Structure 1
Amino acid sequence: MIKTMNKYRNIFFFMIDFFLILLIGIFYYLSLPFKSESVVYIPSGSISQIIQNLDNNNYKMSKIDKYILYFLGYPQSGWINIGQTPLNRVEFLHKLTTAKAAEQSIILIPGETTAYFLKQVAKDLNLSEEKLLLEYSKQAKFSEGMLYPETYSIPKGIKEDLLIKLLLAHSFEQSKKAAIKIFGEYNEKKWHQFVITASVIQKEAANNEEMPIVASVIYNRLKIGMKLQMDGTLNYGLYSHTKITPERIRNDESSYNTYKFAGLPAEAVCNVSLNAIKAAIFPAKTEYLYFMRDKKTGLHIFTTNVDDHNKAVAAQRGL
């Protein structure tokens, strides 16, 4: 009897020791310094999915974190303001359930260049323009046309690298979604070639309705080896809103100068709308080779030959 009691007592104390060691281990684990961005994006989903998403984004999470979150409460979805102060793991987990980041809207309009857009974003969000451009060059696969035009809700306090990551990730998903809907698959190089054409359309067309017609002019000229000779292609980079002059046309030696060089520019001119991309993929069937803006309507007068084009130009100039 006494031996049996001693046996159970030993087991009891062993279990107590085991749980004490386990608790000490957990407390130690939760007290370790935890490195985090100042703001963190939490997608909607179960706690297990959230932990997995954080782990996929280099936040080295474990099952312990999942169970601690069950205890602390359900994490809020969206942007979480973690702050700049050094914190430990349990403080990080606690902030996921309590903090929320203040957001600010930034707008990328169709036809705007990345350089000009990031210049404005740097002012609006009090960020470094130089760092934004550097991060874009590091993270983006192409120098232009990688961003999806729309209104973005951005958390205040976000850093340059995370902002670029956010913009590119969202834009990638939108492009992939559109490509799969149109082609049944997403081929990044093929899609970007359409983006290059779409960027010229975006700069030249007066509205969405004109886009397929402008696309037909581009393809008709390319087909016969005729230079595009379009002002809009020279509104690249920080020249986005610069008036094109004869001097610019004479001196610009980039591939964007379609007065000097045949074919499309080597890279997109700007960021484009889905309407412009659809126009590049599905151009109108016309024989137009020229167009001239009508000063009264703001729309374009399309013509098939140089004589009719010259007449349209003369009419607009009052000759």
Structure 2
Amino acid sequence: MTVYEAELVVARRESAADGVLALTLRHPLGEDLPAWEPGAHVDVVLGPELERQYSLCGDPADRSAWRIAVLREPEGRGGSARVHEQLCEGDKVRVRGPRNHFRLEPATRYRFVAGGIGITPILPMLAVAEAAGAEWTLVYGGRTRNSMAFTRELARYGDRVTLCPQDESGLLDLDAVTADLPEGTLLYCCGPGPLLDAVEVCCPADRLRVERFTPKEQPAGVNGEFEVELAQSGRTVTVAPDVSVLDAVRAAGVEVLYSCTEGTCGTCETDVLDGTPDHRDSVLTDAERESGETMMICVSRCRGKRLVLDL
């Protein structure tokens, strides 16, 4: 599958909250950008070995621009510092995508839960749910009111949005949020790992959709040696216990797209033609894992001795 990739211009840079920058990206020649749906993210190349994923949080109907928002993370790995300290209006940045593993599925009712910068993929979902005539509510938590992005935009929805700054009201009451979900309700949640872990305990799995920015802790697995047959290139590579499938494939000279190397972004998702993957990602649903049709080759392995991949 061909993935869109281009140098885009930072057309606008503005504060969305304390510590959060919103960037509007446009094509330098004014060309339309690829269409996207709520929940989509893009890969932003910020430098050598410095590539990050950011959710699109603008208007899906506006093909002239993409908007992302970046939280300044002092203890991060350098991506947010590059954006906040060096990326200016008029600069060009390479962007790839969009990809979407957090699609808004049709439903008659939604409950949205956002924590901190997790509001970004949720924001365009609200507009789509509103346009579809669905019933919905949003509970949005953050450290302080001033640190919560896009609250001015959310104000137009009135009392369907509940803001819960932690310094004013404490942690989100997830038991209350997830209690008595009416038939046909889907709950969408995005935010810090502890929030997602907690909501997974409270909400039935068939009603819940989450997106993680950091890897979910996975059960310990056995890192045995196995072989991977690459169907397109006709090669077979051996994956050693301390080597990822991604690294083994690249060492064999096969170029594949990848980004986070943590199993969160979905960039390296690869079709599985034969064999049983040992899924260790934080992207696929339980049903998708059970099907065994795809895997994230940056972290997942093999439950047997052989996999056949569409590479």
TM class by shorter chain equals under 0.3
TM-score by length of 2: 0.24
TM-score (norm 1): 0.24
> Which is richer in helix?
1
Structure with the higher fraction of residues in strand conformation: 2
